[in-house]
Structure formats: C-alpha cells, structure tokens
C-alpha cells in the first residue's frame, strides 16, 4: 500500500482538517485536567510518522493510498498512559434487562457519543438479530431501536453485558488501563472489553489474518482448486504496541469507486503493523464502520464516509473520554 503524492495527500488532509478543525477546541473543553490544563486532540495534516513517540495524548489523521487499490483510512491514536483521558467502551441500553435475550439496542453512533461524553468513538463488536423478538411494525433490517445480541465479550466500566465467546478474540483493558488480547481468566479484572469479528490480525507482530496471510501456494495447490480472491470490505480495526502504552483505532472506507474500495484482512493487518502495532483485531466492518469525534460546539461529527451513505445504528462502540477517576 503506497501513499499518494505529497500534493494530493496534502489536499486530502486539508479537506478533512477543515471539516474537523473544531475538534481541538471541543476536546480541550470536554477534558480538563486536574491542574486546569486542557487535553487537546491534535488534527494532523500528514500521517503520523512514529506512533511510538507521539508527544500528543490524542491525535487523529487521514491517509490516502493508491496500491493495491484506492483507499482512504482514518486513524485515532490514544495515549493509554495520559491520566487526563481514558479508553472506554460505550454500550447502548439493555432493552430487556440482564435476564432477557437482548444485550443491546441499535442506536445511532452520534447519540451514543452525545449521551456519554465520549470524545471520539469507533464501532466495535458485530451483532445479530434475536429470533424470539419480533421486529417493530413496519420495520426491517438494522433499524434504530432494534434489540440485538452482541457478538463476543462486551464490558463497559466493569459491567459485563455480553459473555466471552471461544470463537471471538477479545480486546480488554485491566484495572490499570493496560491492554490485552485474548480470553481473560476468571480472576482477571476486566474494566473495558470488545471482541473481534472475522479474525485476529496481528499476534506478537505476526500477520495472522485467517485465510489470507497464509494461503496455500498456487504451485502446491491441487490443479482442480481455483484461487479465490480475498474479500475487500470497509474495515474497522484496533491495535496496540508491545509496550501497551497506546491504542490505535482505524477505519478504512470502502465500496465507493474512485474514492475508497476497502481492504482484505491481511492488508488491514499490514496497515496496523506499519503503524507500530504488534497486536490487532478486526472489528465489525461494512456499513457499520464509522469514526466520530466532537466539533467545537460539542456536536458529534462523522469523520469517515460510511459505505451506506449514512450512520448505521450499532449497540457498542470503543473510543476515548475524559478520565473519570484516578488510575494507579
């Protein structure tokens, strides 16, 4: 995946920066530190060169690519060591309580941001309908208000809404805000958690995207076996570095000719690794892929271009908010 020319990339960044320039002021107002200083989200006008040594606690940027196909990716880097902000998981309401089959209700992403005080959010777990719950009259599909089952582990502020699932790899933060990938033990204190969809991407720095990074070589495959192209979709991804000091959320737009077509899982893994991640997972994608942040007035703004042309309601998101309590 090669970057576009500097001039074209600069023009793209200027367009996005003009759109979200107010975010710097918005986050400064929303996340005051204990000593009165403000946490500022920095909108970068060029790709972040070194994620490991970024001096800013919260940065957002956009990258345009032309190979192997045209793509636009949006990034949110969160400093997990800065005590003025904290990574968070945002859950929608539970429509039938802990004893009911539903684990969430589809809610517009901007409503989830507006009601929770989050500074920036990306969609997280996939979700499914529930056979025992009938659609609202005249409604069908993924409409706002529909009760759903959340796929895989979902934890917000130590409240577990959806259990861990063996087929879903979990990303979770412990009580100290340290990131982990895998299945937490019963004794682990899980503060926030979401789960992957499709496959893990990076484990110990290795590209492990299922069915793509380690395909059977053509020469070794039976002559009757035809090669199948890896699927290209809009992607939402999550990764972190070996030190566990920062978190990277990425949204790749797709299904939009001449603007952004999307990535395979292996390409997404390579993109996350190129930015210093050693562990990464694929989140729910397609029409659900979205990155939101607040403008100067505090209003949620969609920073990417969802493939449906508008926000798809979701039951869970992950992102960043002003810190609510002091961490160890």
For the chain, the domains span 6-134+141-214+232-322
Q: Is the pLDDT of residue 61 over 70?
A: yes
- The answer to whether the CB of 77 falls within 8 A of the CB of 248 is yes
Q: Which of the residue ranges 203-217, 263-277, 313-327 would you say has the lowest mean pLDDT?
A: 203-217
The average confidence (pLDDT) of the chain is 86
* The predicted structure's pLDDT at residue 20: 44
* The predicted structure's pLDDT at residue 106: 98
Query: What tens digit of pLDDT does each residue of 302-313 get?
Result: 999 999 999 999
Q: Is the pLDDT of residue 247 over 50?
A: yes
Query: What tens digit of pLDDT does each residue of 62-115 get?
Result: 999 999 999 999 999 999 999 999 999 999 999 999 999 999 999 999 999 999
* The predicted structure's pLDDT at residue 307: 98
Helix (H), strand (E), coil (C) string for the chain: CCECCHHHHHHHHHHHHHHHCCHHHHHHHHCECCCCCECCEEECCCCCCCHHHCCCCEEEEEEEECCCCCEEEEEEEEECCCCCEEEEEEECCCCCCCCCCCCEECECHHHHHHHHCCCEEEECCCEECCCCCCCCCCCCCCCCCCEEEECCCEEECCEEEECCCCCCCEEEEECCCCEEECCCCCCCCEEEEEECCCCEEEECCEECCCCCCCCCCHHHCCCCCCCCCCCCECEEEEEECCCCCEEEEEEECCCECCCECCECHHHHHHHHHHCCCCEEEECCCHHHCCEEEECCCCCEEECCCCCCCCCCCECEEEEEEECCCCCC
Please give the average per-residue pLDDT across 278-290, as a whole number: 98
Q: Is the pLDDT of residue 206 over 90?
A: yes
Q: Is the pLDDT higher at 272 or at 36? A: 272
- Residues 272, 242: Cα–Cα separation, whole Å: 13
* The predicted structure's pLDDT at residue 26: 40
- Residues 313, 273: Cα–Cα separation, whole Å: 29
Q: Is the pLDDT of residue 57 over 90?
A: yes
Query: What tens digit of pLDDT does each residue of 7-47 get?
Result: 554 455 445 444 444 444 343 333 333 334 456 578 899 99
Q: Is the pLDDT higher at 42 or at 260? A: 260
Query: What tens digit of pLDDT does each residue of 226-239 get?
Result: 445 789 999 999 99
Query: What tens digit of pLDDT does each residue of 102-153 get?
Result: 999 999 999 999 999 999 999 999 999 999 999 999 999 999 999 999 999 9
* The predicted structure's pLDDT at residue 298: 80
pTM for the whole structure: 0.86
Could you identify the residue written with the tokens 């033990």?
Answer: 185
* The predicted structure's pLDDT at residue 210: 65
């Amino acid at each position: 995946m090669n970057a576009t020319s500097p001039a074209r990339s600069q023009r793209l960044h200027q367009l996005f920066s003009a759109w979200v320039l107010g975010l710097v002021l918005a986050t400064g107002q929303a996340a005051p530190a204990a000593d009165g200083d403000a946490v500022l989200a920095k909108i970068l006008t060029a790709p972040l060169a070194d994620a490991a040594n970024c001096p800013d606690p919260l940065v957002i940027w956009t990258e345009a690519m032309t190979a192997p196909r045209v793509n636009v990716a949006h990034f949110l880097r969160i400093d997990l060591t800065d005590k003025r902000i904290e990574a968070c998981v945002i859950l929608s309401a539970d429509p039938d309580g802990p004893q009911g089959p539903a684990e969430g209700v589809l809610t517009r992403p901007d409503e989830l941001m507006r009601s929770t005080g989050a500074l920036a959010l990306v969609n997280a777990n996939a979700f499914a309908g529930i056979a025992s719950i009938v659609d609202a009259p005249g409604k069908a599909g993924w409409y706002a208000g529909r009760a759903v089952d959340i796929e895989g582990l979902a934890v917000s502020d130590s409240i577990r809404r959806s259990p861990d699932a063996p087929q879903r790899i979990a990303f979770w933060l412990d009580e100290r805000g340290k990131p982990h990938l895998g299945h937490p033990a019963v004794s682990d204190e899980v503060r926030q958690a979401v789960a992957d969809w499709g496959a893990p991407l990076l484990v110990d720095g290795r590209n492990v995207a299922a069915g793509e990074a380690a395909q059977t070589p053509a020469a070794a495959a039976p002559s009757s076996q035809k090669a199948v192209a890896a699927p290209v979709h809009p992607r939402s991804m999550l990764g972190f570095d070996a030190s566990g000091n920062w978190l990277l959320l990425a949204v790749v737009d797709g299904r939009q000719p001449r603007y952004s077509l999307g990535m395979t899982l292996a390409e997404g893994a390579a993109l996350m690794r190129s930015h210093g991640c050693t562990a990464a997972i694929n989140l729910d994608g397609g029409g659900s892929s979205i990155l939101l942040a607040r403008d100067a007035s505090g209003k949620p703004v969609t920073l990417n271009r969802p493939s449906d042309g508008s926000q798809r309601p979701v039951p869970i998101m992950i992102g960043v908010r002003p810190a609510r309590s002091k961490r160890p």
